[in-house]
Structure 1
Amino acid sequence: MTTSSQSATHNSGYDADSLVVLEGLDAVRKRPGMYIGTTDSQGLMHCLWEIIDNSVDEALAGACDHITVTLHTDGSIEVADNGRGIPVDIEPKTKLSGVEVVLTKLHAGGKFGSSSYNASGGLHGVGSSVVNALSSRLDVEVDRDGKTHHMAFHKGHPGVYTDADPSQPSPDSPFKKTRKNRPTELEIIGKVPPKRTGTRIRYWADPEIFNDTAQFNYEQLIDRVRQTSFLVPGLKITVIDEHIPATGQADIDTLVESDVAEAKADNAETADIVAVAQVDADQALAHSPVSDVETLDDAESDMASADAEQAAALDLPDMASLQRTQSQPGHRRVEEFVHTGGVTDFVDFLTVGEPISSIWRITGEGTYKEETQSVDANGDLHAEQVTRTCGVDIALRWTNGYDTIMRSFVNVVETPGNGTHVDGFLQSVTKLVRKAVEDNARKLKVNLKDSKMKVERDDILAGLVAVVTVRIAEPQFQGQTKDVLGTAPVKGVVQRMSDKQFAEMITGAKRGFKEQSMRVLEKIVGEMHARIQARKTKEVTRRKNALESASMPSKLSDCQPGNDDVAELFIVEGDSALGTAKAARNSSFQALLPIRGKILNVQKASLAQMLSNKECAAIIQVVGAGSGATFDLDQARYNKVIMMTDADVDGAHIRTLLLTLFYRYMRPLVDAGHVYAAVPPLHRIALNASRKGQYIYTYSDDELAGKLAELDAQGITYDPDIQRYKGLGEMDADQLADTTMDPRSRMLRRITAVEAQQANEIFSLLMGDEVPPRRQFIVDNANDFDRSKIDT
């Protein structure tokens, strides 16, 4: 009973009534970060990008050539274009007008099908509706079918505002929401020539959504507008800032007069039509508010309509809209952007420093297949494999600088995180530049035998200025903010196109590129040499700092700095061998560290015991790359670590103990093949007669017997007193150098762990705590023991 009672009490507060269903755009207002990233300045600007991108998509579709962005003094922003205009007819499924569908329904728009937009920046169908949801007020005007249609929204809900002054709309004006589930009819507020189309959206960002730190960034807007004008050649974008104090009508009058003058110049016979149209518009707006234009008497309306149609046919400016602009305060800050050179102009604009090449262009189209969800005639989704077209347009040049300036775009939307299009471009460029360097190695003075002399991507990117753009239908972005392109097949398309066209440029096969390509290759090779030298300098500095550290063992006889790529550390058994080794080594790149006898068996010891052992700690400090999980191979101070011990059983045991330390605590050093065992000779045979003064060294008793038999068979005499080395200390410096230390004549045995699991088991067996298994291993393998394999 107690359990049931507790369960009932626990569940009583959570039932169906506890579930909250957010309908329409309420979910956007509840979780705005899911749609615009943040609710600070970044999110505020993101809303503007969504509206501008919709107008740019019209330009990409070939339906728009002019966009105007107006920053009003009341904090609202207006984006106007002369595109096709948002559809105003009824959408069959929702029974709502196209305007209301686009601005109130998530994932609704003309970019899900394949007929309206072949390439667009906005593809999720949430941009306009999200901005609407996050605005305290949004007004939309659409010019279509000879009429201007208007609709207003409050926090995403359609309805009607009652503004005290229609020319000064405000989000604080009384608002009447349209009844739920009732379609909202578009209000027709004026007439336009039948061929004139376009959309104007004005919105006020909701202060309840955006935090106090959110601020509009004018410079960011200008940068975005400028880059868009580069990416869509011929598109004119005008930015009007009303926040600048009024300076009179001169600027706006000049704009009006220049537009009219251009129209008159195109067709002088239309001057009277222009004048009549302007007078009619002036009179209509002077005596009647915009919302009452349709109440003019029939004669005046028909005349204005006829004149407007004639003006539209001649592509003249909208006099009514110009007059509305004139009635506002003067604008001192009006900026226009239009470019015809595309990404070539963009690269030229981005270039800083002296160019060492002209601007190279990679353009073309490729196709790929992709499975997508398509909408059929009934509005249902079904899987369909479609063939996509990918348009590629890349411009690049190299300068004498060191910074990389690379901008990437998909359907004019910037992808600051890059993506598959940039991956394909860089992979192709890197491959082709490396091949060109190899083909011109002699001219460029590159030693191909030196593994360090390899061109890296950073060498290629230094001084590179590039703009990478692709245009594809329904791109797959990582998230609504579209930072990274994820459409995988695009990489192959871009790479194949770059392979073909860039190869002709970098090899000089294309006419006019031979001298340029050689200058580019010389620049890249110079960056490679600078990088290698910088790394050497860094390692010399690191070695100097390490040597000055109080923790560095005093018994270390280090090599000279500056040869880190070939530096060798010899771990020497005993002080007597150290004395000989000092005289035998090449101090420019060979360092010596003596150890006293057999070090700690770290297989049996704990980590704390290992670190407290002087010999183990000294080796770890001298190698300089840490130990265990923190070991960093790139920080190792030596290219080779060589265990140089006597050629006897004790020496073999010491090597095994050292190898256990390396395998357990500096494993990457072994895996990378940087650990070696020196192979000192065991015997020396002194030849007689004509060969007096010559010596032969052998490394085992079996080899000695075989060599003596060979000499006897050849009739070569030798001193029967064969010298047997009991240790390295018995050799003089010349003998040790010739047999064990000089890279030209020595023999080293590289220590590797090909089978990691098997190596781990062997270490545990031979060096671990369990004695019986080790004893049994020795008994079982005593007859097959091969001393030549004692280190492997």
Structure 2
Amino acid sequence: MATNDYSARHLSVLEGLEAVRKRPGMYIGSTDARGLMHCLWEIIDNSVDEALGGFGTDIEVLLHSDESVEVRDTARGIPVDIEPKTGLSGVEVVFTKLHAGGKFGSGSYTSSGGLHGVGASVVNALSERLDVEVDRDGKTWAMSFHRGEPGVFADKGEPSPSSPFTPFESRSELRVVGKVAKGVTGTRIRYWADRQIFGVKTEFRVDDLVGRARQTAFLVPGLTIGITDARVDAPERTEFLYEGGISEFADYLAPDSAVTDTWRLTGTGSFTETVPVLDAGGAMVPTEVERDCEVDIALRWGTGYDTVFKSFVNIIATPKGGSHQAGFDQGLMKFFRQQVEQNARRLKVSATEKLEKDDLLAGLTGVLTVRLPEPQFEGQTKEVLGTPAVRGIVAKVLADGLASRFSSTKRDDKTQAALLLDKVVSEMKSRISARAHKETQRRKNALETSSLPSKLVDCRSTDVATTELFIVEGDSALGTARRARDSEHQALLPIRGKILNVQKASISDMLSNQECASIIQVIGAGSGRSFDIGAARYGKVIIMSDADVDGAHIRTLLLTLFFRYMRPMIEAGRVFAAVPPLHRVIVMNPGSKPNETIYTYSDQELHTVLAGLKKAGKRWQEPPQRYKGLGEMDADQLASTTMDRTHRLLRRVRLDDAERAADVFEMLMGNDVAPRKEFIVSSSDQLSRERIDA
């Protein structure tokens, strides 16, 4: 029977790993099947990093029937000698110490995907049992761990996480369990995911494993990756080996017939960055180091319109992009705009017609890989590259490679370059034609009438940088806001209650809705893909709704409209929510001294203020006024608390993660009822009754 007791000697180890167990999502993203797969790939990526360094060409992954998984490689093997700072073996350091490993400097790995030094130790912390065997120095060394703590399992027969476990007391032991031939090296890691963390129904998804293994084999030419699923009655082994690298990968991904061959563009660049480095005394010293970045790109254009693009840093996928993908977009756009400008007469392109990113991506299949030491990722899940200097290097390599293709004297290269320019210009002209048609149709709609809505109370200034549009809930609040506003810079547009839920409605329904049409018309920059933020008539749009449930609903509906049809306004940080006060406390001063007015913005703040006044021996008018709506304020109160730029409080609406925000808006406002019901039921215990206006 496994025990939860542990010795004082390992307190520091478990304190570090206990943080992983308490907040696993911080390290692996989630505790569902995605997190389970992420743990497995932390282990596999360590073996892949060895292969990238030229050590080992075979990796085997076995899914055992007892829910454990095993990863074997033929690389150098984890070091088994004693690490001088900790006095522990290299194996124990790797599996028990966060931010420990051979990937922090450039001595062991010139480039690797696992640079944070937490992968193996995180997997160990989240495993009920982990066994590691290392072939090195003519011997097979072994060590076992229970939820991060080293010790010995008393197995009777097959290894099991439920076997009695005895933690090491005075010192850990890296056992010698066998001998191997001289020169034979490698590592075998087998672990059982902790069901206290992942749940009993969470399983390894073999389809995801096969897809990722195939992808990795494309990215590391000459590496053999085998997968065996022993959980089924008739286990089958799947093996991947590709010698052509990302050129084969691009051909595999391409969904259409080719307009161009698969072009391989490679190059390197160097940059300097300041990083903390350990000196001889063990102190971290800021040091300027020279970095080399290798860029490898495979591109092909096809006859279709779909775009398939994948980017990687040291073979780690970066689905959300980063500086390398930004450099790719920059280089692609700059090069093709120059080419179209130089060939404008042949292509019949006017000076006003400009290529956009979507014109170039139509029919593109691309794979971008960069390799550099110690890349800066955003988070342990490594989905976004943050190293700034990579952007310029990728842009230059791409531009130089394309220039070489387009200036080539070979007949095939000339033909393909001409066909590609014709394709992107055709895409551009189709887009411009479609937009013109759409604008023509829209002019027939009320949006394009020559006069602005009569209910708009406009401001006098035309300086976009200083003007503000307040979207006000109801005519009663409009009357007060009209007297409270700064008429030089602040415009008002009233709406009648709750507008159309545009997440459910079609575009035609949205355009025919009077409230939605008025908002789009007043802002004056169009809607949807044709939205031009440069044409917006106001620098800020401020949603001013009541501080109650209905006001929050109206604000959500308005934000849905902006999110779906005027998203650049949110991305530019030009949409705000006004924060009117909830309470007014009138402090009664003795004698002829005028009373003092204090505004509070939450129940907690009100209680704090009242407690402070009571402690100071001051009296206030009972009860404190609770504002249920903006119409309850007079003009002076509304101006000083909500509209006056020197005193007001605004909440900027941000869009940090567009894809997640889109999912949330779809769940809360879309047509599919089931996910919304599940969200409401699962979140009901988090709702305070005090937040409900009844």
Partner of 1:668: 536
- AA aligned opposite 1:410: V
Partner of 1:208: 196
Q: In the aligned structure 2, how far is the partner of 1:397 from the partner of 1:611?
A: 50
> What is the Cα deviation at residue 511 of structure 1?
6.5
- Whether the aligned pair in 2 keeps the contact of 1:111 and 1:120 (CA below 8 Å) is yes
Partner of 1:693: none
> What is the Cα deviation at residue 388 of structure 1?
0.7
Partner of 1:414: 317
- Whether the aligned pair in 2 keeps the contact of 1:436 and 1:507 (CA below 8 Å) is no
- Whether the aligned pair in 1 keeps the contact of 2:13 and 2:97 (CA below 8 Å) is no
Q: In the aligned structure 1, how far is the partner of 2:122 from the partner of 2:195?
A: 15
Partner of 2:164: 174
Q: In the aligned structure 2, how far is the partner of 1:467 from the partner of 1:611?
A: 48
The counterpart of 2:136, out of the listed 110, 130, 144, is 144
- Whether the aligned pair in 2 keeps the contact of 1:625 and 1:634 (CA below 8 Å) is no
- Whether the aligned pair in 2 keeps the contact of 1:432 and 1:506 (CA below 8 Å) is no
Q: In the aligned structure 2, how far is the partner of 1:139 from the partner of 1:21?
A: 17
Partner of 1:229: 217
Q: What are the equivalent positions in structure 2 for 1:393-432 lying under 5 Å apart? A: 393-432=296-335
- Go from structure 1 to structure 2 and tell me whether the alpha carbon gap of 1:526 and 1:115 turns closer, same or farther (over 3 Å shift): same
- Go from structure 1 to structure 2 and tell me whether the alpha carbon gap of 1:634 and 1:163 turns closer, same or farther (over 3 Å shift): same
- Go from structure 1 to structure 2 and tell me whether the alpha carbon gap of 1:442 and 1:25 turns closer, same or farther (over 3 Å shift): same
The answer to whether structure 1 residue 356 and structure 2 residue 248 are counterparts is no
The counterpart of 2:55, out of the listed 63, 82, 104, is 63
Q: In the aligned structure 2, how far is the partner of 1:339 from the partner of 1:628?
A: 53
- AA aligned opposite 2:398: S
- Go from structure 1 to structure 2 and tell me whether the alpha carbon gap of 1:546 and 1:386 turns closer, same or farther (over 3 Å shift): same
SS of the aligned residue for 2:54 comes to coil
Q: In the aligned structure 2, how far is the partner of 1:391 from the partner of 1:530?
A: 37
- AA aligned opposite 2:29: G
- AA aligned opposite 1:373: P
> What is the Cα deviation at residue 621 of structure 1?
11
Q: What are the equivalent positions in structure 2 for 1:310-709 lying under 5 Å apart? A: 331=235, 333-448=236-351, 451=352, 453-508=353-408, 512-546=412-446, 569=450, 626-627=518-519, 631-635=523-527, 668-669=536-537
- Whether the aligned pair in 2 keeps the contact of 1:404 and 1:465 (CA below 8 Å) is yes
Q: Deviations over 1:462-495 (max 9, x none)?
A: 1110000011000000111000100111111112
Partner of 2:609: none
Task: Provide the TM-score with structure 1 as the length reference.
Answer: 0.57
- Whether the aligned pair in 2 keeps the contact of 1:139 and 1:203 (CA below 8 Å) is yes
- Whether the aligned pair in 2 keeps the contact of 1:40 and 1:213 (CA below 8 Å) is no
Q: In the aligned structure 1, how far is the partner of 2:277 from the partner of 2:488?
A: 66
Q: What are the equivalent positions in structure 2 for 1:132-281 lying under 5 Å apart? A: 132-165=124-157, 168-179=158-169, 182-211=170-199, 214-246=202-234
SS of the aligned residue for 1:634 comes to coil
Q: In the aligned structure 2, how far is the partner of 1:58 from the partner of 1:220?
A: 22
> What is the Cα deviation at residue 546 of structure 1?
3.9
- Go from structure 1 to structure 2 and tell me whether the alpha carbon gap of 1:457 and 1:506 turns closer, same or farther (over 3 Å shift): farther
- AA aligned opposite 2:392: G
Partner of 1:113: 105
Q: Deviations over 1:577-634 (max 9, x none)?
A: xxxxxxxxxxxxxxxxxxxxxxx9995999789999xxxxxxx999996359961412
Count, aligned residues:
479
Q: Deviations over 1:221-270 (max 9, x none)?
A: 11111111011100001111112214xxxxxxxxxxxxxxxxxxxxxxxx
Q: What is the root-mean-square deviation of aligned Cα atoms in Å?
A: 3.2
- Go from structure 1 to structure 2 and tell me whether the alpha carbon gap of 1:447 and 1:623 turns closer, same or farther (over 3 Å shift): farther
> What is the Cα deviation at residue 351 of structure 1?
0.8
Q: In the aligned structure 1, how far is the partner of 2:13 from the partner of 2:105?
A: 29
- AA aligned opposite 2:379: G
- Whether the aligned pair in 1 keeps the contact of 2:268 and 2:293 (CA below 8 Å) is yes
SS of the aligned residue for 1:25 comes to helix
- AA aligned opposite 1:421: H
The answer to whether structure 1 residue 83 and structure 2 residue 75 are counterparts is yes
Task: Provide the TM-score with structure 2 as the length reference.
Answer: 0.65
Q: In the aligned structure 2, how far is the partner of 1:157 from the partner of 1:393?
A: 42
- Go from structure 1 to structure 2 and tell me whether the alpha carbon gap of 1:172 and 1:632 turns closer, same or farther (over 3 Å shift): farther
- Whether the aligned pair in 1 keeps the contact of 2:53 and 2:110 (CA below 8 Å) is yes
- Go from structure 1 to structure 2 and tell me whether the alpha carbon gap of 1:507 and 1:186 turns closer, same or farther (over 3 Å shift): same
- Whether the aligned pair in 2 keeps the contact of 1:455 and 1:525 (CA below 8 Å) is yes
- Whether the aligned pair in 1 keeps the contact of 2:45 and 2:113 (CA below 8 Å) is yes
Partner of 1:692: none
- Go from structure 1 to structure 2 and tell me whether the alpha carbon gap of 1:143 and 1:667 turns closer, same or farther (over 3 Å shift): closer
Q: In the aligned structure 2, how far is the partner of 1:90 from the partner of 1:609?
A: 72
Partner of 1:591: none
> What is the Cα deviation at residue 377 of structure 1?
4.1
- AA aligned opposite 1:400: T
- Whether the aligned pair in 1 keeps the contact of 2:29 and 2:35 (CA below 8 Å) is yes
- Go from structure 1 to structure 2 and tell me whether the alpha carbon gap of 1:133 and 1:669 turns closer, same or farther (over 3 Å shift): closer
Q: Percent identity?
A: 52
> What is the Cα deviation at residue 371 of structure 1?
1.1
- AA aligned opposite 1:526: S
- Go from structure 1 to structure 2 and tell me whether the alpha carbon gap of 1:76 and 1:632 turns closer, same or farther (over 3 Å shift): farther
- Whether the aligned pair in 1 keeps the contact of 2:523 and 2:537 (CA below 8 Å) is no
What stretches of structure 2 of length at least 5 have no aligned partner?
A: 1-11, 453-481, 497-511, 540-694
- AA aligned opposite 1:72: H
Q: Deviations over 1:192-241 (max 9, x none)?
A: 01200000000000000013553321111111111110111000011111
> What is the Cα deviation at residue 670 of structure 1?
9.2
What stretches of structure 1 of length at least 5 have no aligned partner?
A: 1-19, 247-330, 557-568, 572-599, 613-619, 640-665, 672-792
> What is the Cα deviation at residue 96 of structure 1?
0.6
Q: What are the equivalent positions in structure 2 for 1:30-69 lying under 5 Å apart? A: 30-69=22-61
Partner of 1:6: none
